[in-house]
Amino acid sequence: GGGMPPASRWAQPDIEAVLACSTYALCSISMSLCNKLVFSGADFDVPLAVLTYQSGCAVIFLKGGAALGILEPMPLEIELLRRMVPVAVLFCLMLWTSGKALRYCSMPFFTVLKNLGVVGITCYEYMRFHNPVSPAIAVSLALMILASLVAGAGDLTASPEGVLWMLTNVIVTVAYLAVLKECTPPNVSSSSKTLHNNVLTCVLFFLAALSSGQLQPFLDTLPRQPLVLQLGVLSTGVMGTAINMTTFWCMRVSSGAVYAFVGATNKIPIAVMGHWLFDSELTTSGWAGVVLGLGAGFLYAMGKERERRILTEQHMEVDIGDDDQDSDFDFEDTEARVLLSRGSSQYYSPTVEDRVPERETGERFPDHRSISDAEVDNEDRDLLHTR
């Protein structure tokens, strides 16, 4: 026949999946490194102004996407803005403390210590929703704690101030994801939640930058900064949206397991390149802690994906067993209920997002993950906003 050979039929999807995952990883790595550059500039210490710019870019891209028909219409609703104020306040604190930690922590140490956020969120889920913790997850969490201690002891550039900012960021991140679950209505689309969150975030950062006197220095000193830092600032404004779109693409053409694998492994080049580009000083034991932390993150991601698959299969079996002829059976609804039964919370939007993904959702959590899967990648500004 004149049809496409079997090999050709399979080649195209595989190529697209590789391209999608590679693009997502590149965007995520670039965002992390650009944030480190921008927030640790010796003569450019205006984090609130930078975050105002980043949030403003997110709003512009979201509204622009809606105007072009790429995203669904997202009118601003006063009631939703009111309900999301606590979420936005904690989101601002999370991003601000992350920026401060980046200024005082080496990139490898920062990357490993972020894992403590996963530990905190898992503990919160266990106490709040009684979510069971599998042996693989328990082992990975213990390794994360051990890795943080080892990496910190072996980082010659680590300072008490940096560790304090990092631990504060971990605490705020856990609080943010907990409040996100409790305060955001499940019947509102992820895109709309993302828009409202970023409108509030932009306003709050603008007021904070204005009151602290950072806006004018930002405008005055940016043109005098090295070209690489100027490009870094510019990149952080658009990279959040790029991460969001590539996340959606990656989830659409691959699987949750592949996405989790990419998310876990892209921290390796972040740690290595961050060390090389920003001259961190790690001893052999420090690198052992970094490697242990990266391995623990990989084990955690794979364990959560395995749990998700088992829960989804079990729930489907129960529903199908109740009524094999039920014409109203909806796989996505089943999957959403599985997530909700685990205490998941949904956040934002088209990126994992509409596969359902959202890498973190509870309308569903973007990648169908529980809030502990939110992965706490705010250094990517994964935007917990948009991603």
Q: Residue 207 has which token pair?
A: 């007021």
Q: How far apart are CA 377 and CA 288, in angstroms?
A: 22
Q: How far apart, in whole angstroms, are the C-alpha atoms of residue 185 and residue 323? A: 30
Give the model's pLDDT for residue 39.
95
Nearest to 280 by CA among 108, 101, 29, 43: 108
Tokens of 267: 């921290």
The pLDDT of residue 281: 86
H-helix or E-strand containing 328?
Answer: none
Question: Burial level of 145, CB count in 10 A (0-12/13-18/19+)?
Answer: middle
What tokens appear for 347 in the block? Answer: 């956040």
DSSP string of 252-321, one letter each residue: HHS-HHHHHHHHHHTHHHHHHHHHHHHT--B-HHHHHHHHHHHHHHHHHHHHHHHHHHHHHHHHHHHHHH
For the stretch 73-80, contacts whose Cβ atoms lie closer than 8 Å and that sit 24 or more positions apart, written own/partner, are: 74/189, 74/191, 74/192, 74/195, 76/195, 76/196, 76/199, 77/192, 77/196, 80/185, 80/188, 80/192, 80/193, 80/196
Distance CA 43, CA 236 (A): 18
Angle at the Cα of 356 (from 354 to 358), degrees rounded to 5? 80
Is 102 within 8 Å of 40 (Cβ atoms)? yes
The DSSP annotation for 126-176 comes to HHHH-----HHHHHHHHHHHHHHHHHHHTBTT--HHHHHHHHHHHHHHHHH
Alpha carbons 326 and 337: distance in angstroms, whole number: 17
pLDDT of residue 321: 55
The half-sphere exposure of 38 on its side-chain side, counting CA atoms within 13 A, is 29
Give the predicted TM-score (pTM) of the model. 0.77
Q: Which two tokens stand for residue 57?
A: 């870019």
Tokens standing for 84? 């999301």
Per residue of the chain (387 residues), what is the pLDDT tens digit?
A: 444 454 444 445 578 888 988 899 999 899 999 999 999 988 899 999 999 999 999 899 889 888 888 778 888 999 999 999 999 999 999 999 999 999 999 999 998 888 888 899 889 888 988 888 888 889 999 999 999 999 888 887 878 999 999 999 999 999 998 888 788 787 887 778 888 999 999 999 999 999 999 999 999 999 999 999 999 999 998 887 788 778 878 877 877 667 777 877 888 899 889 999 998 888 888 899 999 998 998 888 888 878 878 877 777 766 555 554 443 333 333 333 222 222 332 233 333 333 333 333 333 333 333 444 444 444 444 433 333
